[in-house]
Amino acid sequence: MTETDSSHADQTVTADDVAEAAGVSRWTVSRAFKKDASISPKTRAKVLAAAEAVGYLPDLQAASLASERSNLVALLIDDFNNPHKLVMLERLTRVLRKNGWDTLLVNTLDGTETNHALLSASQRRVDAAILIGLQFSDALLNAATGARRVKKLIIFARSSENANTISISVDDREAMREMTAYVLSRGYRKPMFLAGPDTHSAHLRRKETFVELWQQETGVQPEVIGVESYDSNLAYGIATQTLKGRARADLPDVLVCENDALAMGAIDAIRHEMNLRVPEDIAVTGFDDVPQAARPNYQLTTYRQPITRMAERLVEILQNAENRDDNCSFLGEIVVRASA
C-alpha cells in the first residue's frame, strides 16, 4: 500500500534521495551535515534545503557503523532510591543531548545481570560508559574496561583512583572541611556522624574527613554510626535505635549526615520517634541538596554539588579523543537552611 504511495516517500528517506533532489552526489549530502567539512556554503545551503524538503535526517546507526564515533553514551545506575539520582539523570541527559549525545540507560541493579548489562551496552558501540551508581565492584570496573568498544569509563559524582578511569566529582574533603567549619561556627560541640555504606572502588571521603577534622579542631573523637545503604528508612531505623532512650545529656547536638537521604530519615526519626525538635534539640546537616531538602518541613542545611558544571565537563572529556586520565574535582557550596 504505502510503497506505491510515492508522493512523500516517508518510509525511509536516505541521503541518496536528498542527493537526487539537490542534484549533487550522496557524499556531498553527507558533507553538508558534517561540521567543518570541505563544502561550499551555497552547496551546503542547497543540500540542507533539499533535505528539509524531503524530510531527511541522517541515520545515526549507520553513521556510527561507518565512523568510529557513535555519539552515544551508556549511563549505568544501580540505585534508584535516592532522589539525587533523578537530579543527575535530568542534568546529564539534558547537557548531553544539548551537545549531540544520546544516552543509553542501563540498570545495573540486579547484580548477576550487571556484567551482562555492561556488555550489552558495549554492543551498542557506546563512546563511553558513565557510572553514577554506588556499588561498582572492582570486578565490574574490570569488566567495563575490558569490554570491547567501551572507549572511556567515567565515574560521575564519585572519586576513584582506579586506573583507566576518569572521575568527575566534587572535592569531598574540601566540602566536608567547609561543613565542619560551619558546624563548629554555629557552636555545636557534640556531633554525631551518620555514614552510608563503605564502598571500595569509588569512595566518598566524607566520614574520614569529618572525623579527622573534628578531632583536629576539638581534640574529641566524634561519634559515628552507619547504615548499610543510602536509604531514608534505614536511617530512620538506625537513628531511632541509636538515640531513642538516651539520656538528654548523652544526645548529640548535631547530626552530620553523609547525604540528604540519610538526613531526612534522621529528621523524621528525631521528630516522630523521639518528639524532639530540629534544630533546637538536635540539628541536622545533609549533602547533595536534593529538591526535597528545600521542603518547608525539612529546611535542610546541606551541600550543593555543581551537577550542571560537572556534566559540562563530562562533555568536554567526551569530545577530547585523547584518553589521558584527567580526574577532576569541583567545589560546591553550603546551602544554609533552618536545620542547622
Partner DNA sequence: AATTTTCTTGCACGCGCGTGCAAACCGGTG
Partner DNA sequence: CACCGGTTTGCACGCGCGTGCAAGAAAATT
Name the site residues for a second copy (rule: CB under 8 A).
10-13, 55, 57-62, 64-65, 70, 72, 75, 80-81, 83, 85-87, 89-90, 93-94, 97-98, 102-107, 109-110, 113, 117, 119-125, 146, 148-149, 232-233, 236, 265, 268-269, 271-273, 291-292, 294-297
* 70 sits near DNA (criterion: CB under 7 A): no
DSSP code of residue 149: T
Stretch that binds DNA, among 18-26, 78-86, 89-97, 310-318 (CB under 7 A): 18-26
How many CA within 13 A on the CB side of residue 17? 17
Per CB under 7 A, the list member of 21, 39, 141, 144 interacting with DNA is 39
Q: How far apart are alpha carbons 209 and 207 in whole angstroms?
A: 5
- Smallest distance, Å, CB 298 to DNA? 49
Which among a second copy, DNA, none contacts residue 43 (Cβ within 5 to 8 A by kind)? DNA
43's CB contacts (< 8 A; 6+ apart) are: 24, 28, 32
Binding residue for DNA (CB under 7 A) from 21, 33, 108, 290? 33
Give the residue among 97, 102, 111 at the shortest CA–CA distance from 75. 102
- Give the dihedral of Cα atoms 85, 295, 288, 108; nearest 10 deg: -20
Q: Provide the 3-class DSSP secondary structure of residue 181.
A: helix
Amino acid at 146: G
Least separation in angstroms between residue 221's CB and DNA is 58
What one-character DSSP code corresponds to residue 296? T
If one asks whether residue 40 binds DNA (CB under 7 A), the answer comes out as yes
What is the nearest approach in angstroms of a second copy to the Cβ of residue 216?
Answer: 36
Task: Tell me how far CA of residue 229 lies from CA of 207, 268, 296, 326, in angstroms.
Answer: 15, 17, 26, 29
Among 54, 63, 119, 274, binds DNA (CB under 7 A): 63
- Partner whose footprint covers residue 16, from a second copy, DNA, none (CB < 5 to 8 Å by kind): DNA
Closest contact distance (angstroms) between CB of 208 and a second copy is: 29
The residue to which cell 532512650 is assigned: 245
196 contacts 205 by C-beta, under 8 angstroms: no
Q: How far is the CB of 265 from a second copy (least distance, A)?
A: 8
State which of residues 5, 8, 25, 326 lies at the interface with DNA (CB under 7 A).
25
Is the CB of 43 or the CB of 233 nearer to DNA? 43
Q: Does 122 bind DNA (CB under 7 A)?
A: no
Binding residue (CB under 7 A) for DNA from 45, 52, 53, 67: 67
Q: Is 163 exposed, middle or buried (0-12, 13-18, 19+ CB in 10 A)?
A: exposed
CB of 139 to a second copy, least distance (A): 16
Closest CB 99 distance from DNA, rounded Å:
17
DSSP state of 288: B
Candidate residues 5, 8, 10, 27; the one interacting with DNA per rule CB under 7 A: 27
Q: Is 98 exposed, middle or buried (0-12, 13-18, 19+ CB in 10 A)?
A: exposed
Q: How far apart are CA 88 and CA 94, in angstroms?
A: 10
Q: How far apart are CA 303 and CA 133, in angstroms?
A: 19
Site residues, DNA (CB under 7 A):
12, 14-16, 24-28, 30-31, 33-34, 38-41, 43, 56, 58-59, 62-63, 65-69
